[in-house]
Amino acid sequence: METITLPYWMFAVLVVFAAIMVLDRMILPSMRWYLKRRVNRVIGEINTRLDIEIRPIQFTRRQALIDQLVFDEKVIDAIKLHAEEHNMPHSIAQEKARKYATEIVPAFNAYVYFRIGYWLAKKLARLIYRVRVGFYDKNKISELDANSSVVFVMNHRSNMDYVLVSFLVAEKTTLSYAVGEWARIWPLQMLIKAMGAFFVRRNSGNPLYRKVLERYINLSTRAGVCQAVFLEGGLTKDGALRDPRLGFLDYMLRDYHQHSDKDIVFIPVGINYDRVIEDRSLIRRLDKEAEKRSFLFVIKTTFSFIFKNALLSRKNRWRRFGYASVNFGEPLSAKKYCVEHDVDFSALETEERFVRVEALANSIMNNISQVVPVVPVALMSEILIKNTSEWISELELKSQCSQRIAQLGDAGAPIDISNSTIESVLGSALDAMIGRGLVDEKDNLYRMKESESDILNYYANSIAHWK
């Protein structure tokens, strides 16, 4: 009997290959079965309590959706045009379209969405803010047709908007967001895609890319996927509401046939904060001469901010950043709008269609402005700006805020500050502003710090549309 001697490296290779075979043939199939069973159990449990069920398209294999996009008739036409314009083979242009589709299409996972994403969003939102929710829809949201395509259309003040609204509507439906390039960071992008979000290249002038994006939005809207759209197209930099961007609305409506397609229902959502985490960064972008911060500086500042607040938490000195308020307004039906305004978006030429889409966008934007919450720091900022050159007592500040609250209430503005709590709420807002160094204090008198006027204007602008 001969003994065969193997080198250690060859023995190690054989062991690795044997382990891979055991994983592939025995362990992984069992794990897939176990995980699939857990996911199906979550889906069954969730669908029984959601007002709007998870749509079948959200369970469709991602690769099948990518193929459906690439072989869409209008995308194929765009591929041919792209190949001709750039003098390239059709196969290369098609591969570009596939790359765009792969980048855009999400990888929704119900287990990740509800067991991880919802938990994280809930914990984070409540850790940072006192969350307040209001409904100004006259009970119409609960009466929506469950088969309609629901689109939550909101103003955009902070990247926390994604977290806040996802957490607040998780008991009603799942949301699919369009997120920008900021979210394409590994491993964050994997979690975001599993949450149902899709990536969008902002201001891309590539016609092929825009066509693939258009067809995906059209596909998901027709399938009834609930979507969340920031109609302003990006974060407000001065705190005021921005003019609406028309791209997403146009993609949803350009092939919309109100007589045969399911209804598209737009729900206006107003968001406001006592403190926007990235307020100084946003205001800095208004200064075109300001030196652009490096990525390293951003990372350093972010970690410094987190570390500082973590220390405060350990010392029991952590205070939440005031109120984060979200209001849901009255739904707007696309079918009803088309009938009332005698418009068929699918039958219009491009120029006229954009005019009609702009009219609808302005109407939705006006509805959003009517439900943007009035928060204490915004009120206090208004009064401090009004008294810029004067020192004013805390009592007078609160008195003027109370008068302003009465005016806003008469105008129909959404204010969730009761008479019994108004003094303590305004006192907390003033303390927070003093703590941030936005207000000068002398002999129990207060005045806006001139060097911080941009910040106070930013918060006052959030309710400036209520004259």
Domain extent for 190: 102-277+321-369
Residue 230: strand pairing partners? 154
Domain ends where: 304, 335, 369? 369
Indicate which CATH number applies to the domain containing 428.
1.10.10.2090
* Within-domain flag for 57: no
d(CA 157, CA 102): 29
Identify whether residues 343 and 423 lie together within a single domain: no
Asked whether residue 152 falls in the same domain as residue 231, the answer is yes
Q: How many CA atoms lie within 13 A of 171 on its CB side?
A: 4
Residues 336 and 423 occupy one common structural domain: no
DSSP secondary-structure letter at 27?
I
Task: For helices 422-435 and 376-386, give the axis angle rounded to 10 degrees.
Answer: 70
Strand order in the sheet with 445-448: 392-393, 445-448, 439-442
**Residue 29 falls inside a structural domain:** no
| Torsions phi, psi for 289 (to 5 deg) | -90, -5
Residue 260 lies in a domain: yes
Report the pLDDT value the prediction gives residue 422, as an integer from 0 to 100: 87
Task: For residues 417 and 450, state if they share a domain.
Answer: yes
Identify whether 51 is part of a domain.
Answer: no
DSSP states of 112-152:
IIIIIIHHHHHHHHHHH-EEEEEE-STT-STTS-TTSEEEE
- Which CATH number fits the domain that encloses residue 341? 3.40.1130.10
Residue 200 CB neighbour total at 10 angstroms: 21
Segment 217-251, tens digit of pLDDT: 999 999 988 888 999 988 899 999 999 999 899 99
Interatomic CA distance for residues 10 and 8, integer angstroms: 5
**Section 407-427 average pLDDT:** 87
Question: How far is residue 427's CA from residue 414's CA, in Å, rounded to a whole number?
Answer: 20
What is the three-class DSSP state of 103? Answer: helix
Write the CB contacts of 257 (distance below 8 Å, at least 6 apart in sequence): 344, 346
Share of the chain above pLDDT 70, in %: 82
Question: What average pLDDT does this structure show over 8-25?
Answer: 73
pLDDT band at 258 (very low <50, low <70, confident <90, very high): confident
Asked if 110 and 170 sit in the same domain, the reply is yes
- Are 175 and 266 within one domain? yes
As for how many domains the chain has, the answer is 2
CB-CB contact of 273 with 458 (8 Å) = no
Give yes or no for residue 80 having a pLDDT over 80: yes
Residues 229 and 262 placed together within one structural domain of the fold: yes
Per-residue pLDDT at 447: 92
Do 364 and 401 fall within a single domain?
A: no
Sequential DSSP letters for 31-81:
HHHHHHHHHHHHHHHHHTT-SSPPPGGGGS-HHHHHHHHHT-HHHHHHHHH
In a domain, 69, yes or no: no
Instruction: State the average pLDDT for the chain.
Output: 83
334 and 453 share one domain:
no
Would you place residue 40 in the very low, low, confident or very high pLDDT band (cuts 50, 70, 90)? low
Q: Do both 222 and 327 map to the same domain?
A: yes
Q: In the listed set 335, 369, 403, which residue is the last one of a domain according to the structure?
A: 369
15 part of a folded domain: no
